[in-house]
Amino acid sequence: MKKFLIVLSAWFFATVMVVPLIGGSYPADPTADIPWSCGFTGVSDIQCSFNNARSTENSQLGTSLPLLILPTQATWNAISDGEKVLWLINRERIDRGVDPLADIEANVTGVAETYANYLLHNDEWGHNADGRTPWERLADNPDIGACHDNLSVAENLAAFFSTGGAIAIPVERSVYMWMYQDAGSSWGHRHTILWYPYNDDSGTTGMEGFLGIGRASGGPYQGWPFAEIIVMNVFDPCASWANSDGDGIPDDEDNCPMDFNPNQEDADGDCIGDVCDPEPDVYDPSAPDSYPPGGNDIGDACDCEGNFNGDSDCDGSDAASFKADFGRNPMSDPCTTVNPCNGDFSCDGDVDGSDAALFKQDFGRSQFQNPCPACESGVEWCGY
């Protein structure tokens, strides 16, 4: 069985951005390609290859990147392609001192999936195959088009070809190729992954930018019986993302995100706005009460999961605590009763994208807007 890979990356001003560290936009590049060094059977080989690349890059650049410890194979199998890419990319960013991307986002994922399928089913290749640039495709999505900041990177493409049968771990290998085997593209794909001039004006401070992954499998394609096409898109949301009801209050701070209520009236103080509260005069924050598992007698709508220091708000100091523990998992600096994780809201032993989404919902709450209920700093949330 013969297999082949090609990659492309979309850029503004690509002839300028081949210079390492231009404008402080991305960390330094390796001095040469670092080939994939292990097998293709699963997590152990992914970890082996990435760690070999990190060790080689340390030797090339005099850096001190730590070794990766991936989740278990069962955990890895259970998450989506987008979650796998987000995990790998954010480890590459965080371990180089670059703020992580905020999350996977449905609109961006939809753009990436649509284009991956377009390329496969029309036997096309390249960033402009449908007559639009990557930025135009993103902007044609109504939500993204209405609320985005300028960003000089937008898309990576990868394609794997085979004479027959499945192609192993194409998503993980795409990230690897973009990161460590990209000298022929002046490291443009790597720059797209590690780019850090995002405008940090929405959601959780220190986490900005949304990711979407599209994957199309099948054939024939470009003369090959079978292919895997991977599309990665990123975009930078504007300050008001998302504001579904148009009242000027971001959804993650709005006590009625689907109903216009710019003054956020909440007569009974249960953190559910009067316009969407079925009993606006009855304090009832106790249902549902999902976090921590088993509940804590504070309803999810009122609870501030991210109020780590026990004051009346969820602010930058809490974001710093969350960021410090983001990425911890049972195999890498595990959460324990002695050394608990700030941000393991679901008590599953790691701090990942699902926890970031919960933290983002409460970030910005204060004594003046959706105040956090009284609580004690240091109270055990999870029993490990």
What is residue 282's predicted lDDT score, i.e. its pLDDT?
63
Q: Residue 219, Cα to own-chain centre: how many angstroms?
A: 30
Residue 7 has pLDDT above 50, yes or no: no
pLDDT at 378 over 80: no
Residues 6+ apart with CB under 8 A from 368: none
Which structure tokens are listed for 173?
């290998």
The pLDDT tens digits of the residues spanning 107-154 come to: 899 999 999 999 999 999 999 999 999 999 999 998 899 889 999 999
pLDDT of 346? 79
The lowest-confidence range among 31-35, 76-80, 285-289 is 285-289
Please state, in angstroms and as integers, the Cα–Cα distance from residue 270 to each residue in 61, 228, 277, 280, 284, following that order: 54, 49, 9, 9, 6
Contact of 112 with 212, CB cutoff 8 Å? yes
Q: Does domain 3-237 have CATH number 3.40.33.10?
A: yes
The predicted pLDDT at position 138 comes to 95
Q: How confident is the model at residue 268 (pLDDT cuts 50, 70, 90)?
A: confident
17 band by pLDDT with thresholds 50, 70 and 90 = very low
Residue 258, pLDDT > 80, answer no
Lowest mean pLDDT among 260-264, 299-303, 318-322, 347-351: 299-303
Instruction: Residue 321: count other Cβ atoms within 10 Å of its Cβ.
Output: 17
Q: What is the pLDDT of residue 261?
A: 81
Which pLDDT value is given to residue 24? 59
- Which of residues 88 and 251 earns the better pLDDT score? 88
Amino acid in position 36? W
Q: Copy the structure tokens of residue 32.
A: 């040469």
Averaged pLDDT score across all residues of the chain:
82
For residues 210 and 205, give the distance between their C-alpha atoms in angstroms, rounded to a whole number: 14
- What would the pLDDT profile of 175-221 be if each residue is shown by its tens digit? 999 999 999 999 999 999 999 989 988 877 888 999 999 999 999 99
Domain boundary assignment for the chain: 3-237, 285-384
What pLDDT sits at residue 118?
A: 96
Please, what is the end-to-end C-alpha distance for the chain in angstroms? Answer: 47
Peptide linkage before 220 cis (omega within 30 of 0): yes
Task: Tell me the pLDDT band of 265, cut-offs 50, 70 and 90.
Answer: confident
pLDDT at 14 exceeding the cut of 50: no
Beta bridge partners of 216: 229
What confidence tier does 13 reach under pLDDT thresholds 50, 70, 90? Answer: very low
Res. 289 pLDDT band, cuts 50 70 90: low
Average pLDDT over residues 238-267: 74
Indicate yes or no: pTM above 0.85: no
List, for residues 55-95, the tens digit of each pLDDT value. 999 999 999 999 999 999 999 998 899 999 999 999 999 99
* Greater pLDDT, 253 or 185: 185
- For residue 299, the model assigns a pLDDT of 59
